């Protein structure tokens, strides 16, 4: 069986979050999408982000939901196929209400940039030019 990862993220407004990530080029699996959450396909059959309304998310944990605009719960990082793809995704995120928490960083073997989504979740994007030394 192919291993999969489902990253569950609380969102304040599911429809706005779906529109934001759709503008970045992501699609949603309708089989796992309803009024409580949406299954955003990051990599077909292996990586999905479950965007869950805060009320539904609260049923999955006993811990408080943090304000990701003020605290960091996780740093999500996705690989890209080129530096251009990294820059284009960040530009689309900013154009649709996200923001870049820091300038791009070029480490020689790796190019890194990222964005915060509408709920403040940190999405890092990297392009690996070569294998690290």
Sheet containing 75-79: order of strands: 75-79, 122-128, 110-116, 105-106
CATH 3.10.180.10, domain 1-61, yes or no:
yes
pLDDT at 108 over 60: yes
* Annotated domain spans of the chain: 1-61, 71-133
pLDDT of amino acid 39: 97
User: 71-133: which CATH architecture?
Assistant: Roll (3.10)
Collect all residues with Cβ–Cβ distance below 8 Å to 54 and sequence separation of at least 6: 10, 11, 12, 65
39-91 pLDDT, tens digit per residue, is: 999 998 899 999 999 999 999 999 999 999 999 989 999 999 999 999 999 99
Q: What is the pTM of this model?
A: 0.89
């Amino acid at each position: 069986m192919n291993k999969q990862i489902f990253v569950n993220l609380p969102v304040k407004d599911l429809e706005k979050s779906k529109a934001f990530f759709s503008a970045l080029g992501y699609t949603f699996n309708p089989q796992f999408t309803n009024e409580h959450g949406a299954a955003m396909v990051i990599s077909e059959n292996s990586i999905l982000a479950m965007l869950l309304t805060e009320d539904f998310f609260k049923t999955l944990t006993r811990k408080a939901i943090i304000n990701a605009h003020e605290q960091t719960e996780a740093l999500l990082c996705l690989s890209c196929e080129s530096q251009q793809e990294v820059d284009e995704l960040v530009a689309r995120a900013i154009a649709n209400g996200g923001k870049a928490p820091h300038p791009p960083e070029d480490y020689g073997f790796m190019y890194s940039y990222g964005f915060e989504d509408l709920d403040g979740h940190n999405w890092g994007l990297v392009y690996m030019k070569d294998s690290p030394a």
